[in-house]
């Protein structure tokens, strides 16, 4: 268990960001109030918060895009993240929208409640009252000024200047001044001794009064409010009397107060809709910024929460792909952390189990390989079958014995093999029958005609049972016992020959001698006809005894152990040498096809000569001394051994199947005069030299024999 500290899903930077957003929103809310000093930067705050919203929106957009790509790629944890974020957004937007709706409603109603007809009327009445009050004052001061004008009409400038002070005091004015038509000051007097120059009327005032109209207006002067009255003096030379009347402080204050309140109220009336929009804008911005920030934080937090789940999914996929050593880092100590630890524990156990399985599997594989090696090197053919009699394995010896690649038929039945190799139909059908029927070990001998002639197989088979007694397959082991049987036959014939030599040849000499003695003793004593009969009879006995002796000698020869004197023989030269004896003798055409390279064998030259003579003579006799003999000599490689292959084909009457089976057995002949030992002796010599001879059953124009003898390298 890792001892890492618990970490909050929200980092310090996010807290700082939230603080910044809150500060900005607070500043903006404060700036919304007109009186606030922050109102000067209201627009900047608005822009700042808008940019912040856009920034957050972009951030969320990037996160959404990233999540969409993860979803498209079906990345681990993307669907869980989507679900959690969707739920969060839904849960946060729904109440926020409700709050926003009711806030707007409340805002509108609140602002609307500020204004009503009664207040409007009261404000207007107050203003009208104030205006009326001021107007009365204006009218009063106009009348006073007009009275003063009457007093200055017709007076000289000097007199007027002297009376100015009295005039000022008479109307309790702040300042009095007389202007010429050109606007020059003729005379003036002020309550404030510091005022040297009177207030000069503005251009537009002059325009007004020069039209002989009275002018009355308020004129704010610093903190006090003055009423400026200018009345034309209808004299010879037009002059203008300006009197400034101060408005009492109390009235001025009240006027200011009413003016300010009215203006504020009017302003608020004018800004009524703008105020709503402004508050809604701020509210929207606050809500949007808060929501966007919350959603972004939700993205960050949920990714942080989902990270261990993602790791787990990744780890699970790795395990599914066979990586059982997958270990995940434990980043949290919560339930997910416990889950990750459990996962690590599980993968550790699986890895261990996997190691054990691998070790066991390796051992089994080694054993299997060893068994395969043993099977492959067995001289006996072994074929194993499954429960449905389909071939599971076949060793190399099976191919060597049957001359068909049995291993190529793995997964097929023997009946399927028959389709490709019909020559083995009888064999396979019998074996198939035994496989299906036998309940115990069986053994049977089969004979079939292979490419090298007749073959005898000794087959042993057994069904295979599982530990619960269920039949799971069977196995067949077979040996080619053709040579063994042939050897047994040869040995039997040798014994027969030896006994013949012993039992028959021994009495022949006395018989012959007795016959000759009878002839010698009785010829002179018998009459001529009887003597002739005796002579023919004894001669017949002697001839037949000679013939029997000759036959017994042949048998002795066949039965006698060979006395080989081995030497290197150039087979090309030897065959040519022997064929030379036959080429001119008869009408037989001998066609040879020899290998260009010399083929050398190590053998007894006399014996090999006898083999060749016997084979050529056999062919010659089979064609009745007329026809064609094809003789071939080449090198072949069998089982990594180089052989000299000598084959001889005639176009005689050929051999039937029965003859092929017994052609190499002694005393088997198709000729009238033959002893039937020629081919038997040939086979005996060939086998004594480690070779093999067989009837080429593929040749059907006559008889064909193939001889293979091991070559030597010089």
Partner 1 sequence: MRLAVYLICLSVSEVIWASDYSTQVKNIAIESAVDSYNLDANIVYSLSPVAKEALQKGIPLTWDVLIKVKQEGLLWDRTLDELVLNFQLQSHALLNLYSIKSVSTGRQDMFSTFAGALDYMSIIRDLPIINKALISPDQLYYVVVKVKFDHESLPVPIRPFSYFDQQWALSSSAKLCPIKN
Closer of 128 and 495 to partner 1 (Cβ): 128
* 122 is an interface residue for partner 1 by CB under 8 A: no
CA dist 52 → 22, 294, 523 (Å): 12, 13, 156
Options 258, 307, 458, 485; binder of partner 1; rule CB under 8 A: 258
Provide, rounded to whole angstroms, the least separation between the CB of residue 134 and partner 1: 7
Q: Please give the residues from 280 up to 309 whose contact with partner 1 meets the rule CB under 8 A.
A: 281
Q: Which stretch binds partner 1 (CB under 8 A): 276-284, 317-325, 396-404, 670-678?
A: 276-284
Binding mask 28-67 for partner 1 (x = CB under 8 A): ---xxxx----xx-xx--x---------------------
Residues near partner 1 (CB under 8 A), total: 36
Concatenating the DSSP letter of every residue in 563-613 gives ---EEEEEHHHHHHHHHHHHHTTSEEEEEEEE-SS--EEEEEHHHHHHHHH
Name the minimum Å distance from CB 58 to partner 1: 22
For partner 1, give the closer residue by CB, 274 or 366: 274
Of residues 262 and 582, the one with the C-beta less far from partner 1:
262
Q: How many residues does the chain have?
A: 714
Task: Give the long-range contacts of residues 174-177, CB within 8 A, separation 24 or more.
Answer: 174/226, 174/244, 174/245, 174/246, 175/199, 175/242, 175/243, 175/244, 176/148, 176/241, 176/242, 176/243, 176/244, 177/241, 177/242, 177/243
**Using the rule CB under 8 A, which residue among 26, 212, 274, 443 binds partner 1?**
274
Print burial letters for 669-685: b (CB count within 10 Å at least 16), e (below 16).
bbeeeebbbbbbbbbbb
**Closest separation between CB of residue 225 and partner 1, Å?**
8
d(CA 279, CA 286): 10
Q: Is residue 218 a contact point for partner 1 (CB under 8 A)?
A: yes
Q: Residue 166: exposed, middle, or buried by beta-carbon count in 10 A (0-12, 13-18, 19+)?
A: exposed
DSSP annotation of 235: S
Residue 36 Cβ vs partner 1, minimum distance, rounded to whole Å: 8
- Candidate residues 165, 220, 411, 510; the one interacting with partner 1 per rule CB under 8 A: 220
Contact with partner 1 (CB under 8 A): which of 78, 130, 145, 614?
130
Answer whether 590's CB lies under 8 Å from 631's CB: yes
Interface region with partner 1, contact rule CB under 8 A, candidates 94-102, 272-280, 336-344, 424-432: 272-280
Looking at 11-19, 255-263, 459-467, 477-485, which segment touches partner 1 (CB under 8 A)?
A: 255-263
CA dist 314 and 577 (Å) reads 84
- Output 125-132 pairs: Cβ under 8 A, ≥24 positions apart: 126/258, 126/261, 126/262, 127/258, 127/259, 127/262, 130/254, 130/255, 130/258, 130/259
From candidates 259, 341, 665, 696, binder to partner 1 by CB under 8 A: 259
Q: How far is CA 315 from the centre of its chain?
A: 16
Find the part of the chain contacting partner 1 (CB under 8 A) among 217-225, 370-378, 419-427, 683-691.
Answer: 217-225
- Spell out the alpha helix ranges (H) of 226-271: 249-270
Stretch that binds partner 1, among 25-33, 152-160, 339-347, 588-596 (CB under 8 A): 25-33
245 binds partner 1 (CB under 8 A): no
Binding of residue 134 to partner 1 (CB under 8 A):
yes
Binding site for partner 1 (CB under 8 A): 31-34, 39-40, 42-43, 46, 127, 130-131, 134, 202, 204, 217-220, 255, 258-259, 262-264, 266-267, 269-271, 274-275, 277-279, 281
């Amino acid at each position: 268990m890792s001892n890492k500290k618990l970490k909050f899903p929200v980092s310090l930077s996010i807290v700082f960001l939230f603080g910044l957003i809150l500060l900005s929103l607070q500043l903006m809310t404060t700036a919304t109030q007109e009186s606030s000093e922050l109102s000067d930067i209201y627009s900047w705050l608005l822009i700042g918060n808008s940019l912040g919203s856009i920034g957050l929106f972009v951030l969320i957009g990037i996160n959404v895009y990233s999540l969409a790509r993860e979803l498209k790629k079906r990345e681990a944890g993307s669907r869980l993240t989507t679900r959690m974020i969707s739920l969060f957004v839904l849960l946060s937007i729904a109440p926020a929208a409700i709050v926003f709706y009711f806030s707007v409603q409340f805002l509108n109603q609140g602002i609307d409640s500020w204004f009503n007809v009664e207040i409007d009327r009261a404000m207007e009445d107050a203003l009208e009252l104030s205006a009326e009050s001021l107007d009365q004052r204006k009218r009063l001061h106009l009348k006073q000024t007009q009275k003063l004008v009457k007093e200055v009409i017709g007076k000289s400038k000097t007199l007027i200047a002297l009376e100015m002070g009295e005039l000022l005091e008479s109307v309790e004015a702040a300042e009095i001044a007389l202007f010429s038509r050109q606007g020059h000051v003729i005379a003036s007097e002020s309550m404030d001794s510091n005022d040297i120059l009177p207030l000069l009327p503005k251009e537009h005032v002059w325009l007004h009064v020069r039209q002989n109209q009275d002018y009355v207006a308020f004129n704010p002067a610093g903190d006090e409010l003055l009423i400026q009255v200018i009345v034309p003096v209808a004299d010879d030379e037009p002059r203008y009397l300006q009197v400034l009347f101060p408005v009492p402080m109390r009235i001025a204050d009240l006027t200011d107060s009413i003016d300010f309140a009215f203006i504020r109220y009017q302003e608020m009336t004018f800004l009524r809709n703008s105020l709503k929009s402004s508050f809604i804008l701020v509210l929207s911005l606050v809500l949007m910024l808060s929501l966007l920030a919350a959603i972004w934080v939700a993205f960050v937090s949920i990714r942080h929460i989902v990270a261990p789940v993602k790791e787990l999914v990744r780890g699970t996929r790795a395990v599914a792909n066979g990586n059982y050593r997958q270990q995940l880092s434990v980043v949290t100590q919560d339930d997910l952390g416990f889950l990750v630890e459990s996962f690590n524990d599980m993968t550790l156990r699986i890895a261990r189990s996997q190691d054990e399985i691998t070790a066991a599997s390796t051992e089994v594989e080694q054993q299997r390989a060893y068994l395969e090696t043993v099977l492959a090197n067995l001289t006996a053919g072994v074929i194993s079958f499954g429960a449905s009699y389909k071939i599971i394995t076949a060793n190399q010896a099976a191919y060597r014995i049957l001359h068909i690649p049995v291993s190529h038929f793995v997964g097929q039945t023997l009946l399927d093999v028959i389709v490709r190799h019909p020559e083995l139909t009888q064999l396979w059908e019998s074996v198939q029958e035994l496989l299906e029927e036998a309940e115990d070990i069986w053994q049977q001998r089969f004979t079939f005609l292979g490419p090298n002639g007749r073959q005898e197989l000794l087959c042993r088979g057994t069904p295979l049972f599982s530990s619960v007694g269920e039949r799971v397959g069977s196995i067949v082991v077979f040996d080619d016992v053709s040579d063994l049987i042939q050897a047994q036959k040869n040995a039997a014939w040798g014994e027969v020959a030896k006994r013949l030599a012993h039992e028959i040849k021994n009495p022949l000499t006395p018989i012959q001698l007795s016959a000759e003695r009878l002839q010698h003793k009785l010829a002179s004593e018998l009459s001529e006809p009887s003597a002739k009969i005796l002579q023919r009879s004894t001669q017949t006995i002697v001839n037949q005894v000679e013939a029997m002796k000759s036959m017994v000698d042949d048998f002795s020869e066949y039965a006698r152990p060979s006395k080989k004197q081995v030497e290197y023989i150039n087979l090309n030269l030897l065959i040519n040498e022997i064929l030379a004896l036959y080429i001119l003798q008869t009408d037989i055409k001998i066609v040879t096809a020899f290998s260009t390279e010399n083929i050398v064998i190590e053998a007894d030259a006399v014996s090999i000569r006898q083999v060749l003579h016997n084979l050529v003579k056999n062919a010659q006799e089979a064609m009745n001394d007329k026809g064609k003999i094809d003789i071939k000599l080449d090198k072949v490689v069998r089982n990594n051994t180089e052989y000299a292959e000598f084959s001889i084909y005639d176009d005689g009457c050929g051999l039937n199947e029965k003859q092929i089976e017994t052609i190499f057995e002694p005393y088997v002949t198709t000729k009238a005069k033959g002893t039937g030992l020629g081919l038997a002796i040939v086979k005996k010599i060939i086998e004594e030299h480690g070779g093999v001879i067989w009837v080429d059953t593929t040749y059907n124009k006559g008889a064909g024999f193939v001889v293979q003898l091991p070559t030597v390298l010089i």
